[in-house]
Amino acid sequence: MTRRPPFDLQGELRSFPPTLLFQMMALGGLVGRLTMRAAAGTCELYFQRGQLVFARAPGQGETVGHELVRRGLVARDAVERAAAERARRRNGPRLGALLVERGLVRREDLEDMIQTRIKDAIYLCCDWREGKFAFEAGAEPSDEDILLDMPLESLLLECMTRADEARHGAGAGLDHA
């Protein structure tokens, strides 16, 4: 019996930058997890039929509950009660689903917030040029019920726009020094 390699594709980001990897996954209609490791940390991106549907980046440590409170979408005590219930019901609904079920948060607000978190993770790692990547075919985002539904071309365009704005913003500060 032959053993399957741990990753189906792996390499260096300097040879295969993130945007090229995203396009390769899209063109191949691939399903799986792309893990990129750089000095800034680790980013996990999930593809379904070539579509980038979920991402987790370093520095996204704030929980969904804390972010909902910070954004003023729900009271802290309501999040704490829902979190306690979630802890009692191991295989029960996720925290966001509990809050929606109780009418404390609108499903649309929860989806918008989570999709923004996914896009922020993608934008964060889009410019990485040093580090390693590995793609594991068939891996799916576990326990994630809110996924991104946005064409890859739109995501890449937004990545380039954000990078350009960041460069001009940094340059603008230097011009006036």
Cα dihedral across residues 114, 118, 121, 123: positive or negative = negative
Residue with structure tokens 């792309």? Answer: 34
Q: For residue 175, name the pLDDT band (cuts at 50, 70, 90).
A: very low
Q: Provide the 10 A C-beta neighbour count for residue 36.
A: 25
- The pTM assigned to this predicted structure is 0.79
Q: What would the pLDDT profile of 63-87 be if each residue is shown by its tens digit? A: 888 889 988 999 999 999 988 888 8
Task: Output helix, strand, coil percentages for the chain, rounded to the nearest 5.
Answer: 45, 20, 35
Q: For residue 2, name the pLDDT band (cuts at 50, 70, 90).
A: low
